[in-house]
Chains A and B, each alone.
Chain A
Amino acid sequence: MPRLHIPTFAEGNDGTLYCARGDRNIQRWDGLAAAWIDAGLTAPVNAVTMGTTSTGLIYGNLYAYQRYVALDGRVSNLSPVSTELVIAGVTKTITNVTNATPIVITTSASHGFSTNNRVKISGVIGTRSANGIWLVTNITATTFSLQNSSGNGTYMGGGTVRQGVSQIDYSNLGDASSDTRIYKRQILRNKDGNVNVFYVDKELTNLATTTSSSTNDEDDLGEAVVLLGVNGEDLNVTRHAEPPNYKKVIINHYSRLFAVVDAPYKWGGVAVTNASTTVTGINTAFTSVMAGWELFVNGDATTSYTVSSVNTSAQTLTLDTAYGGTTDPFALYELRPARSATGLDSREERRTLYYSESGLPESFNLNKGVTLSEDHEAGEMTGLMPIQTRLYVLFENRIYRLAYSNEPADGDSVEASWRGCVNQRSWSIVEESAYIMDRQGIYIFAGNYYEPISDAIQPLFERDTKAKYQINWNHQENFFSVHDPRTETIRWFISLGCERFPRWALRYHYRIKQWCLEEYPFAVSCGALGDLSGVPQLYCGATARRILALGHGHLDGIPNSTLGTIRGTATASTILSISDSTASFASDSVGFPVQITSGTGAGQVRIISSATATKLTLVEPWATLPDTTSKYQVGGIRWKYRTGWFRFLQSGQREVRGMELMIRPTSLESYMAYRKCLDNSDTAALEQVSASYTKANGLQMTSGEGDVLIQTTKATGLFKHDTDAHRGQDSDGIRYVRYEYEGVTNAEGHQLRNVILHGVLA
């Protein structure tokens, strides 16, 4: 199975939810239906065939359409129009009307009517009660009586009698019963003399039937359906097309659904044969929507072939012209969306956005797309971003503003920024400003200016092979941002290593303008802001079909009700396990992370693949085998805080040097430690103690180690460690210090309340 494109979700104004995926139809769900279904309605493909039966009052030059209607009233485009049905009928001039009961009509010429024929009389002056629709009787060649009629005045002249057919027979409707989106079928026909206004003649809820008939004359026809408005605008012909199924980004903006960003397909390979129109996929998942797309083979960007049909079960494409290149049993390829119907090739199509009719999120007039001018510096289109009333089209290296009043197609696109956006999920709106990530960094965009904000983390974005961390742009499609209004932060989830899905997040506090880097024990692939018990809550999707409530609780993935043993000291281990003979691990610990917090192998995190009461088996092997000095924590969240570099006071006086830390005490034991680094070294300075000991205030020193353990259960939560070393003003000694604090949470969170450094310049 190939990888899928990243889908997007958007809610319509009526609350219906839509999902676009780029290689299949946009789907809809209203929160009530059992399943998602394709959005929009496919227009009927069959032109109705019309016939007539008997004599009656239907006449004229008639045409018919059919269209489908959903249960909520949404309609499809019209079918192809029927061929013209000409019902000439009989029209005779009236020369006399009796003022009697019944009325007797005399025509100027032989009328040819039979008893019980229906006729329509109009224009009679004087005996006005003769006007109307009647059954006739007492026939002679030029006279007939109107059944159940009675004169109401002396005939003064005028009048015609007309007769057509009594019934129109419709056929070739096509079986539509397999499309569950359709509630009913409407057959529309016009009135004689008007080909712009059609009327609902028949509604059929039996979608399997392919024939129908109607005895409605002009007066009986139903709702009017106008084809073109007074200014020639299309009101019903092509206005209700289905949303474009090859765009993978949709957004809702001012009662319209917008669809942008093509999703070219190049997964797997193809086998192509010279002079053949058949292309066979190699580990592909071609979908039916790829019919009409352009096929490029082996990187030849100048020669393309239009796909005329797709066989999804055999995974073959049929081209409209035979492949002209060299036969290749395993070629590289790319399928790009194109719409030959509107004359847009794939290059223009990928710069084109479509939008629905106002208030009709599933009705797209695909003839009204907005194609932006080509800008070679802009890169590929990546998304759409609404800020208040404004709509911005995002490219890799540019942002354009789409300015329009009523109809987007009548608007203009104006370059708004020389920065771009990585993808549709890498921007977040906060207080009318967008926080956006592109390949250069992260910046604030407010419509008329942009301001870079990622200087502090800029090495991540630069192509510096010596940098410790660098963003892996190969997986930028999977990057995303989420805004957390509770903490006033925005996280950009990124890949720093070779993993496809992000396992790191750049977290920006937009009030205090501070960055931090977060690492997660498993990949976090997507996120969304929702609420939990009425409070804003970030949710993240992850591997193994997990959905995580970010920042909720203090252990990764472990609900408090099923804890079991989650912290202890190893009694044994193998390359793929860790054991604690005193433990009582929960059997449903599978999938949770376990990490070595201190002792041998500290810092390693592994995912649990199975658990017994005393043994945890792991997915991946240990790099360093834990031993009986190793303390472990299941589900613990590791954090690290590092100060900047501070310069020691060099006053020549005896100065106290050290640090004072205040934390919120915990009731459960957990790992917390600090270390200090000196003079720009990343290595912790060793504690100069001759033997391991625990200070009365809860700090635990180990001879020969730089880490000082902090006893988090100490009731005061206050830890102080001072030395009284000092240096004179001119001596060449230690000048700079930096402290690092780290911890791994147990079932309670850690909170650093205060850090005070003594003996340094503020």
Chain B
Amino acid sequence: MYLGRYTLGDWVTLKVITRNTSDVPTAPSAAPTVRFYTGSGTTVESTSMPPYEKNIKTGLFILEHFLGSAFAVGQYVALVEETVSSSALKQLYFFEVVASGNNNGAYLNIHYYKAPQSPYIVGLPEDGTLENRKNPRA
């Protein structure tokens, strides 16, 4: 499945409904795993998919994955693997990362900090790294 175009710092969303061989939504034996590959086949990141509204939707798993420092502009493949009723199943998702974003993501909050020697704009972007930035005109 083609997921679309993203920019660095976006969140790519994978949705999986695990099904048995009769195509009936069925809970897997463990949470599906996801591995992200570059277009050339290099593994970028891997994780597991958490359940979503499991009391209402059988077999629904949704992963929101941050396109952080491990990603760059290019084509990517997400391989989802799950085991349902002892059958190992795989699904592929494709997406593209295009320029205009940033690995750090969006700022969650900023603060104008007038330190004694110089004013700064400090902020916390989505990658969790506190930053102290300085505008020479500020």
Chain A: residues with CB nearer than 8 A to chain B? Answer: 1, 3-4, 6-9, 11, 15, 17, 19, 21, 27, 29-32, 36, 267-269, 271, 282-283, 298-299, 329-332, 425, 501, 523, 525-533, 537, 539-547, 549, 590-591, 607-610, 617, 619-620
Contacts and interface: CB of A to CB of B under 8 A. Distances in A.
A547 B111 CA distance: 11
A526 B109 contact: yes
Interface in B10-45: 27-31
A282 B64 CA distance: 12
Q: Which of B5, B9, B27, B98 has the most CB of A within 10 A?
A: B98
Given A282-B51, A541-B123, A545-B106, 19 more contacts: A4-B124, A9-B109, A27-B130, A31-B120, A282-B31, A282-B49, A283-B63, A298-B55, A330-B54, A332-B51, A526-B123, A527-B110, A530-B112, A530-B138, A532-B135, A545-B104, A549-B135, A609-B7, A610-B99
Pairs of residues from A and B, 7 with the lowest C-beta to C-beta distance, nearest first: A31-B115, A541-B107, A530-B112, A9-B111, A269-B50, A545-B102, A544-B102
Given A7-B109, A545-B105, A547-B110, A332 B54 contact: yes
A523 to B, nearest CB: 6
Contact of A545 (B47, B49, B125): B125
B74 interface: no
A1 to B, nearest CB: 5
Contacts of B126: 3-4
Given A17-B113, A530-B112, A3 B31 contact: no
A6 B51 CA distance: 24
Given A15-B115, A30-B115, A32-B115, A283 B109 contact: no
Contact of B124 (A19, A268, A547, A609): A19
Nearest to B5: A619
A539 B111 CA distance: 9
B86 interface: no
B100 A609 contact: yes
Nearest to B119: A530
A532 B5 contact: no
A4 B27 CA distance: 29
A21 B49 contact: no
Given A271-B30, A526-B107, A11 B55 contact: no
Contact of B109 (A8, A529, A530): A8
Contact of B121 (A36, A542, A547): A547
26 contacts: A1-B66, A11-B113, A19-B111, A19-B130, A267-B50, A268-B50, A269-B51, A299-B55, A330-B50, A330-B51, A330-B54, A332-B54, A523-B106, A525-B108, A526-B109, A528-B112, A528-B121, A529-B112, A530-B121, A537-B138, A544-B8, A544-B106, A547-B121, A547-B135, A591-B99, A610-B100
Interface in B69-108: 98-102, 104-108
A540 B123 CA distance: 10
A329 B125 CA distance: 32
A641 to B, nearest CB: 30
A501 B106 contact: yes
Interface residues of B, number: 58
A17 B124 CA distance: 13
B57 to A, nearest CB: 12
Contacts of A3: 64, 126
Contacts of B124: 4, 7, 19, 21
Nearest to A15: B116
B47 A283 contact: yes
Given A15-B116, A330-B30, A543-B9, A6 B109 contact: yes
Contacts of A330: 27-28, 30-31, 50-51, 54, 61
A1 B129 CA distance: 13
A543 B105 contact: yes
A501 B30 CA distance: 33
A541 B106 CA distance: 7
A742 to B, nearest CB: 26
Contacts of A30: 115
A609 B112 contact: no
Contact of B110 (A271, A532, A541): A541
B51 A528 contact: no
A489 B126 CA distance: 28
Contacts of B105: 543-545
A7 B128 CA distance: 10
A447 to B, nearest CB: 26
Contacts of A546: 102, 107
Contacts of B47: 283
Nearest to A19: B130
Contacts of B111: 9, 17, 19, 528
Contacts of B28: 329-330
Nearest to B109: A526
A537 B109 CA distance: 16
A542 B112 contact: no
Contacts of A533: 137
Q: Which of A32, A269, A523, A617 has the most CB of B within 10 A?
A: A269
Contacts of B127: 1
Given A3-B126, A532-B137, A329 B98 contact: no
Contacts of A331: 51, 54
Given A530-B119, A543-B9, A609-B99, A329 B31 contact: yes
A608 B123 contact: no
B34 to A, nearest CB: 9
B30 A4 contact: no
